[in-house]
Amino acid sequence: MSEEWISGKNPVLEAMRSGRSINKIWVAEGASKGQMKQVYQLAKENGIIIQQAPRKKLDELSNSQHHQGVVASVAAYQYANIEDMLEAAARKKEDPFIILLDEIADPHNLGSILRTADAAGVHGVIIPKRRAVGLTQTVAKASTGAIEHVPVARVTNIARTMDELKKQGLWFVGTDASADDDFRSWSADMPIGLVIGSEGKGVSRLVKEKCDILLNIPMVGKVTSLNASVAASLLMYEVYRKRHPLGSE
Ligand SMILES: C[S@@+](CC[C@H](N)C(=O)[O-])C[C@H]1O[C@@H](n2cnc3c(N)ncnc32)[C@H](O)[C@@H]1O
């Protein structure tokens, strides 16, 4: 079995009790008695998503039939906390630069964003616990090692996290191909929370409403949006360019 998976009632319960980062738990359809009640209870207390699935799906995930009706996907890498990101920025005497990903689902996009984030000096990346890819081996591979260097925090609610970070002085910059302001007009001389939307829906309405500015990257072709990781990269390097003008260092 891959090290990303834990199966069986006791191992999964122990993983939750020990505070291990769990991406998601799959429970066999109809399994809800005995220890399975504890699985549901602890998952609820820890904000872990449980998905019911046919037993066959659990056999495939765990590569065995000895999962007792429960399989957990555990984070291949440890998650960070947001305070550490802000402290890292303060230590470097830099304005915080944090990326918020509003439900990015494709592991290659997350890996690629981490790769550029490392290169462009981003202090950390925030992702939601639900409806988003976590730190998996595929993400690690796509990040080509950047996963080891860029702190990633997982939060229950992106909009609420933005409210909290606003109190700490962050400005939120949303991105949307149809936004009014061109990214080239942005000074980027502020503590930044850069928000990138999901592959399908873009930045959600509530998150957009919480943004202080909405920027577009101009497009003159026929397609209506850029790939999320490409847009994120262009904006990360716009911040780098503005913060480190040629000849300044
Ligand atoms: C594939 S796009 C989302 C497309 C989605 N159908 C929409 O309506 O927004 C994924 C994310 O990349 C960023 N993005 C893509 N193209 C952009 C552009 N031209 N200007 C600004 N951001 C862009 C935004 O954050 C967007 O939410």
Q: Give the domains, in start order, of the chain with CATH numbers.
A: 5-74 (3.30.1330.30), 82-243 (3.40.1280.10)
CA–CA separation, 75 and 211 (whole Å): 30
Residues 12, 73 contacting (CB under 8 angstroms): no
**Contact (CB, 8 A) for 26 and 51:** yes
Question: Cβ of 149: how many Cβ atoms within 10 Å?
Answer: 12
Beta-carbon contacts of 105 under 8 Å, excluding residues fewer than 6 positions away, are 131, 132, 133, 198, 199, 200
Whether the CB-CB separation of 215 and 183 falls below 8 Å is answered with yes
**Band of residue 2 on the pLDDT scale cut at 50, 70, 90:** very low
Q: For the segment 49-100, what is each residue's pLDDT rounded down to a tens digit? A: 999 999 999 999 988 888 999 999 987 788 999 999 999 999 999 999 999 9
What is the average per-residue pLDDT within 96-121?
Answer: 97
Please choose, from the candidates 149, 143, 137, 153, the residue with its C-alpha nearest in 3D space to the C-alpha of residue 99: 153
pLDDT at 3 over 80: no
pLDDT tens per residue across span 141-172: 899 989 989 999 999 999 999 999 999 999 99
Q: Ligand 1: which residue has its CA nearest to atom 1?
A: 199
∠ Cα 169 96 132 (to 5°): 95
112 is written with which tokens?
């690629």
Cβ(219) – ligand 1 distance below 6 Å: yes
Instruction: Take atom 18 of ligand 1 and give the residue whose Cα is closest.
Output: 177
Testing ligand 1's pocket by substitution, the residue of 182, 207, 225, 234 carrying the most ligand atoms inside 8 A of its CB is 225
- Integer Cα distance of 157 and 93 in angstroms: 28
Question: What band does 20 get if pLDDT is binned at 50, 70 and 90?
Answer: confident
216: Cβ below 6 Å to ligand 1? yes
113: CA distance to ligand 1 center in Å? 14
Closest CA to 27 of 41, 17, 19: 41
Model confidence at 1, pLDDT cuts 50, 70, 90, reads very low
3-state secondary structure of 97: strand
Quote the CA–CA distance of 248 and 224 in Å, as a whole number.
36
In terms of Cβ atoms closer than 10 Å to its own Cβ (0-12, 13-18, 19+), residue 138 is middle
Q: How far is the CA of 224 from the centre of ligand 1 (A)?
A: 8
Residue at token pair 């873009």 = 202
Q: What is the mean pLDDT of residues 13-25?
A: 86
Ligand 1: distance of its center to the CA of 54 in Å? Answer: 35
Q: What's the gap in Å between 185 CA and the centre of ligand 1? A: 18
Check pocket membership of 175 for ligand 1, CB cut-off 6 A. yes
CA angle, 97 as apex, 96 and 101 as ends, to 5°? 135
- Global pTM reads 0.81
Q: What is the mean pLDDT of the chain?
A: 93
Mutate to test the pocket of ligand 1, among 104, 176, 183, 220 (most ligand atoms within 8 A of CB): 176
